[in-house]
Structure formats: structure tokens, C-alpha cells
Structure 1
Amino acid sequence: MPGMKDHDTDLATRIVHHDYLPPVGFVAPQPGVYKASTVIFPNVAAMRTREWKDKSGYTYGLHGTPTTFILEERLCTLEGGLQCVLVPSGLAAIANVALALLKPGDEVLIPDNAYGPSKDLANGELARFGITHVLYDPLDPTDLAARITPATKLVWLEAPGSVTMEFPDLCEQVRICRARGITTALDNTWGAGLAFAPFDLTGDGSLGVDISAHALTKYPSGGGDVLMGSVITRDLALHMKIKLTHMRLGLGVGVNDAEAVLRSLPSIGLRYRAHDEAARTLAQWMQQQPAIAQVLHPALAGSPGHDHWKALCGAAQGGPGAAAGLFSVMIDARFTQDQVDLFCDSLRLFKLGYSWGGPMSLVVPYQLASMRARSSAHLQPGTLVRFSIGLESVEDLQQDLQQAMERAFSLA
């Protein structure tokens, strides 16, 4: 310790207060991992004046470290935003937005095909806080417009819809809300900043969502081993509402988790394309299978909202467009739920598990009637099964699907 001799202090004290600092200038491919609850200030003046809200300084671990600041900035680059907060999960991102922007008497509109826990949040905590919600038809912009009232303060958007994969006319939805001065928040987990630019939907900077919520658990992580979410904005005043609520709720993320996402981000484009190509190959193959009544994948002609996907995600410009590694199928109604369950249980490479975006392919059967407020004429009768395609060999996955269908549906 400066000014103190070794014999003046105990060994433990000398270790805790050791004054060695490594030289500056160390640069490596991956950012350093800075762990802290306590942040040390050089003097009282710094303690009283240092600011964390604009990332000009550090005050407490919950308000950011160099590691989380770097991740936030790189995520802004990924999605085209200017400000970002990190939260413990994708659902926490949705909750952070709702609690920051809504008060008793307000109303939020949610697409009927939204992520299920988002609707559960509206039915539970938001309802108890005196915040109402209304479900709208995501494939009918006029239905969205008709449901907006003076109490509507927030509209959630989802592209594509959860599980059933309908792709909305996102540009028209945003135009409707913007004309009425209503904040839009997009669950951008599927697009991941790669399929389309959420803050620049038209490519000329004239149209974009106000908020992008992202479950970093999926493609940014890519390993199936991290839970994290983000809320990204371009408007500073809107960002500060979200950030101050984030602070008051005590939301934070583990720095080792931030490190894992930082390590995976450079490969997100490569992984996303690999998931996309494999999913399209298998979805097209599934269309030819006699047990399958319908394949739901935005990039497939005839899938609900395909033309909207084509226009927004690049295919209209002559390329293949971009999509994620998800698709769902409707198992023909002539097969029982027990047979569908046997099909899922018979898969060897596809594992039963929620989430997606990791290296392992997953499958989940759903009971759709319990998930939707209205019937969907665009869906064929049957039982819905969702697949998340991982990074295995497409040929191996196809053989796995084939053997499971032969076993469950007696289709030799």
C-alpha cells in the first residue's frame, strides 16, 4: 500500500489493498470480463457527479460495466438502434417495456398470435395494475386500426407470429400506429436484426418501429445455455423511460452471460443462414409428406403472410430473402393426439424442448385451441407441431423425421 510499510499491515489487508495495476494497452479478439457490484470512486467529487445513464462513467455493477456496455453497443449495431438495456430474458424485455410505458387506465394492443407469456403478462400483472389489453388480428391491418382507442398507448407487433408463423404487413401496422401517435414495440427475436431492419423497414429511413425487444437467448447466444434479453430504441426520451424503469426494478444480467453472447455475436450471420437454409430444405420436404396437411414457414409460397415476408425480408429484390430456422406443421386431422405425441417421442435427433436458436434441433407439439382467442381460417385442421432446426446434417434430420412418421402414422 502506498505510504505504508509491509510490517504496518496484516497480510490479508495487503492482499485486499494491493496497489499493482497491469499496464494499459492489452488488446485481444474478445473484450475483457469485468465483474462488479461495488465500483470504486477516486474521490467524493467523482462519487457525487459520475453519470451512468449515458455510459460516461461507472457507479454500480447493476448500472453497467465495460463488458455490458460493449454488448449493448454491439447489439445496437446489429439491430440499427442507438440505445439498449440488457435484461435477464426475452420476457423480461417485454415486461420492462410495459412497466415503463403503461399506467392504470392505459390499454395495450397485442396480436392474437403473440408469444404466449406476453399475453399471460397482460392477463396477470398488467390487469392487476389497471392496464387493459385487446387482441387484434395480425393479418388484418384494418382490424388493428379499428381496435385503437384513446386509451391505447402501446401496440405490440410480432413478425412472424409465435408458433403459427403468420407474417404480418409490418409496414402498414407501423404506419397505422404512427398516424395515431402510438408507440410500437416489436418482438424481433425471429428476425434477430438479420432478416430485416426493425428501425428502417422501408430502406430509406422513413419508417421503423419505436422499440425492438429481443430474446438474446436465441440467435445472439446460439448455444442454448444463456438467458438474456434486450430492449433497443432510437429515441433518447423513450430510452430513458425504459432505462429508469429498468433501474428501479433492479434488472441486471450476469457478466459471464454477457461474455458468452459477445463471443457468439461475430458468428450470428453465419449461423442464422445455416439454420435458415436447413429449415427451408426440411420444410419443403415436409410439404410432400402424406401425414402433413400444411407447412407454416414464411418463406414458402402459400404460407400465411408470405407476400409480406417476401417484401420485407429481401426476396422481392431477387434474392432468397432471409428467414430463421423455425417452421411448424399441421399434422393431418385424421391422426389422433396420441399418434402425434408418438411421432414426437419417436424422434431421435430432435429433442423435446422449448426455445430455439441453438445447435440442437427441437420439437414441440402444441394444443392450438388453448393459445388463440379466435379461429384461424388460414390454418388447415389438424394438430400443430413446431420444429426448431439446429446445426445437424439436414440429411440426418430428414431421416429422423421419416422414421418417426413411419412409426407413428404407419406410413411405409
Structure 2
Amino acid sequence: MSSQKTEPRLATRVATRLVKGGTSPAFEGGRAVNPPVVRASTVLFESMDEMNDARRRRGTERMFTYGARGNPTGFALEDVVAQLEGGYRTRLFPTGLAAISMVFLAFARPGDHVLIADCVYQPLRHFVDTFLRPWGVEVTYFCADGSDVAQQIKPTTKLVYVECPGSLVYEMCDLPALAEIAHRHGALVIADNTWGSGLQYRPLTLGADVSIMAATKYLSGHSDVMMGTVTTTQACWQTLATMSDAQGVAVSPDDAYLVLRGTRTLAARLAMHERNALEIARWLVARPEVARVFCPALPEDRGHALWKRDCSGTNGLVSFEFAQADAQTAGRFVDALTLFGIGASWGGFESLATVSNVAGTRTCTDWSRTGPIVRLHIGLEDPQDLIDDLAQAFARIQT
């Protein structure tokens, strides 16, 4: 007997027509440049055999079987990110922190030891204190440059987590050397690659096993969507996929569409961010109010040699230390800016400024004697206008 589904009987009553009509519109012609937004919780099949076959295969294959396991719009974004990162496959998460958390849930267990770089995104420390340690995972922080990893690693170490360049002041580490040490001891290397966006830094090609990005930042590029991505090697993929399915993690197809659209202009936008940021960084270096500018693309930055070896560019992030000022003065400087928004995120088209508490986010190195640090995200505005704004803010705090 044929399993071909018969055409539904033509409905004549209005309520039935409203439910059944317009679900599979037919059209002729070309195709859209971008994949359509596919909003779906329920997914329909032609037969029970087809549904059961899809369910049997979805544990290891990418199948459109239910909204909580992804949708075609999200699958398209996963493919773009996996290609960008040079990885096997990618999974999407509601936020960057959700992506980070899932990696630890997938690859760490009570009794394990994990090493985490001192320069990581501050909310990860909160996750460590509120979940990982109470769950029974031992955590040790290591120096941002990775110089003490060989001394800190243990037989129970399962993960070495790096962020390169680091948060706030952009320390570089020798990722290939760290990966060699970790792999020799049987540990995986996890890298937060939000700074590099897959375009300017590629941890998986440098030896990492898993790369995480906050797509909220440069992949989206418009400050209007939250998302995280995790891309892995083939060896690590199934562990991540299984735990993600068990947790029921999914993202909105509308959000996936927004990030997918943002990736189309990523290369062009980052080139502008880099050009503008370097112009402003060089201007800041010459300012008498500035003690130090943090940007690994500057030749005087202590991580410049590693940046030059491992990165293909920089982005819009530039931080600087005041030479003679207190935190209140730094705050007045930020308040005096007119073209810079005051905000904690970055990666959008707009310029932002905030005072960074580096000393409060580090435990391996002492930043307490450092002057106040302002973090700038240089956007796509004309850099001379931004320089004029910075200049007038410096003048304001002198009065």
C-alpha cells in the first residue's frame, strides 16, 4: 500500500479554512538571497515512518524535527559560523554566557579540575562561584599570558579555558604552546573568541578544541540581538550536542536571521573598526593624560609579537590608563563625552565608553596600583569627530 498522503478534503467552513489555508504557499521564480525565517515549534511529517526515522537520526545528524532542536534559519547561521571558525559544527545559544555555561556542563564533572585564564569575561567568574565550585569542580585561575599553566596543571585537569586577547586590557597568550601542554596532559582547550570574531583570530586552527563567541557583539554588529555560539572539532562535537539537546537549548529564528544578516558585512565592518580604532589609539598614545594604551596591534603593546603572529587584524576595542587621575575623574571624563554612549557591551556600529575595574576582576596579577582605565569601543563614526570629542572631554576634566 502506498504511503503517499492523500490531499486533504476541501474545507468549506471558515474556521477550518483559517487553520488549513496558506501553510505551504506555492510560487515560481528565483530564490531569496538570505534563507527565510522559519518559525516553528511543531514540525509535520508525511508518515509515522518518516517521523520515527528522523527521531532516530537526530542524535547524531542535524534534522528538523522539533523547534527546540533548531530550525533551518538557525542551521544556516551555524554553517556560516562553523566555516568562519574553521570548525566541524556549531551550536547556537541564547547568550554568550549561556554558551560558556553549556561548555562547562558538557565537558566538566564533579571532581574534575579546570584551569581558567585570569583575564576572562567577568560573568564567568560569577558562574564559577555560584555553580562550578558548589557543584564540586575545582577551579584554578592562571596568569593571562599563560606563563604558569605548566605549573598549575594536574592529573585531574580536564579543561584549560583561555580568552585571547583578554577582557578589558587585551593580554595575548601563546595559544599553540598552551594547547600543546594541555593536550599532553589529556585536557581540552576552550577559547573565548569573541574579540577575534572568527575573522581576526581562529583558536581552532591554533590548537583549541572548542571556540566560543558572543554573537551579540561583532557577528550581529547592530546591538539589537543576544546570542552565543560554540564551534568544536569533530572529536568534541557529540559531547556538546548531547548535553545541549538534554538541556533543551534553542534560539529564536528571528534572532538567528538578525545575526546571519550581520555576518554578511562582518569583514567590511571590522576593517572600518580597525582603521578607526588604530587612528584613535595612536592619538591617545601621544596624549599627556594617558599613561598607557592597551591594544595588541600597537607595536609598544607587550603582546604585539603574538598578535602579529596569530591575528589577522584588530577590532574597535581600545583601553587606556590615566596617568594622573582617580576613578571619579575618569567617570567625569566618560560623562563629558558626547558621541560615545555609556554602556558595557561592544561590537555594534556605535562608539561606547565605560570605566573598567580591572583590579576587581583579576586574582593572579595585582592591578591595584594602576591608574583608572577607560575602555573605548570605537564604532563606525568619523574618527576625527571621535578624536575631537575625546579632546574636549580631556579638557573638561582639567577645569
TM-score between both structures, scaled by the size of structure 1: 0.91
Cα distance in 2, alignment partners of residues 345 and 6 from structure 1: 64
* Higher mean displacement: 39-48 or 51-60: 51-60
**Aligned-residue offset at 1:128:** 1.5
Give 2:210's aligned residue.
Answer: 211
Give 1:226's aligned residue.
Answer: 225
**Aligned-residue offset at 1:381:** 2.6
Residue type of the alignment partner of 1:149? K
| Cα distance change on mapping 1:328 and 1:5 into 2, 3 Å | closer
Q: Are 1:144 and 2:158 an aligned pair?
A: no
| Cα distance change on mapping 1:136 and 1:24 into 2, 3 Å | farther
**Aligned-residue offset at 1:264:** 1.4
From 379, 382, 390, the equivalent of 1:393 is 382
From 306, 314, 328, the equivalent of 1:323 is 314
SS at match of 2:270: helix
Give 1:45's aligned residue.
Answer: 49
| Root mean square deviation of aligned Cα | 1.8
Cα distance in 2, alignment partners of residues 343 and 54 from structure 1: 53
1:70-126 deviation line (CA, Å, top 9, x unaligned): 110111111111111000111111101000011110111111111111121111111
SS at match of 2:205: coil
1:196-250 deviation line (CA, Å, top 9, x unaligned): 332223xxxxxx21000010001110001110010001224x2111111111212
Q: Which blocks of at least 5 consecutive residues in structure 2 are unaligned?
A: 1-5
**Aligned-residue offset at 1:56:** 4.8
Cα distance in 2, alignment partners of residues 367 and 20 from structure 1: 54
Q: Are 1:97 and 2:128 an aligned pair?
A: no
Cα distance in 2, alignment partners of residues 389 and 406 from structure 1: 20
SS at match of 1:28: coil
Q: Which blocks of at least 5 consecutive residues in structure 1 are unaligned?
A: 202-207, 314-320
**Aligned-residue offset at 1:52:** 2.9
From 128, 133, 137, the equivalent of 1:131 is 137
**Aligned-residue offset at 1:2:** 3.5
1:44-81 deviation line (CA, Å, top 9, x unaligned): 11221203345553110111111111110111111111
| Cα distance change on mapping 1:302 and 1:376 into 2, 3 Å | farther
Q: Are 1:289 and 2:278 an aligned pair?
A: no
Instruction: Tell me, yes or no, if the aligned pair for 1:216 and 1:229 is still in contact at 8 Å.
Output: yes
Give 2:245's aligned residue.
Answer: 247
Instruction: Tell me, yes or no, if the aligned pair for 1:88 and 1:228 is still in contact at 8 Å.
Output: yes
**Aligned-residue offset at 1:302:** 2.3
SS at match of 2:203: coil
SS at match of 2:162: strand
From 194, 197, 203, the equivalent of 1:198 is 203
| Cα distance change on mapping 1:342 and 1:3 into 2, 3 Å | closer
Q: Are 1:345 and 2:342 an aligned pair?
A: no
Cα distance in 2, alignment partners of residues 211 and 3 from structure 1: 48
Residue type of the alignment partner of 1:41? F
Give 1:32's aligned residue.
Answer: 36
| Cα distance change on mapping 1:33 and 1:20 into 2, 3 Å | closer
**Aligned-residue offset at 1:164:** 1.5
Q: Quick one: percent identity of the two aligned structures?
A: 37
Give 1:172's aligned residue.
Answer: 177
Instruction: Tell me, yes or no, if the aligned pair for 2:117 and 2:146 is still in contact at 8 Å.
Output: no
From 325, 334, 359, the equivalent of 2:349 is 359
Instruction: Tell me, yes or no, if the aligned pair for 2:340 and 2:350 is still in contact at 8 Å.
Output: yes
Cα distance in 2, alignment partners of residues 22 and 165 from structure 1: 52
TM-score between both structures, scaled by the size of structure 2: 0.94
SS at match of 1:226: coil
Cα distance in 1, alignment partners of residues 24 and 338 from structure 2: 55
Instruction: Tell me, yes or no, if the aligned pair for 2:193 and 2:202 is still in contact at 8 Å.
Output: no
| Cα distance change on mapping 1:390 and 1:123 into 2, 3 Å | same
1:232-273 deviation line (CA, Å, top 9, x unaligned): 01224x211111111121211111111111111111001011
From 119, 123, 138, the equivalent of 1:117 is 123
Q: Are 1:264 and 2:262 an aligned pair?
A: yes
Q: Are 1:407 and 2:381 an aligned pair?
A: no
Give 1:108's aligned residue.
Answer: 114
Residue type of the alignment partner of 1:126? L
| Cα distance change on mapping 1:38 and 1:340 into 2, 3 Å | same
How many residues align? The count is: 391
**Aligned-residue offset at 1:375:** 3.1
Residue type of the alignment partner of 1:344? V
From 325, 331, 338, the equivalent of 1:335 is 325
Residue type of the alignment partner of 1:101? F
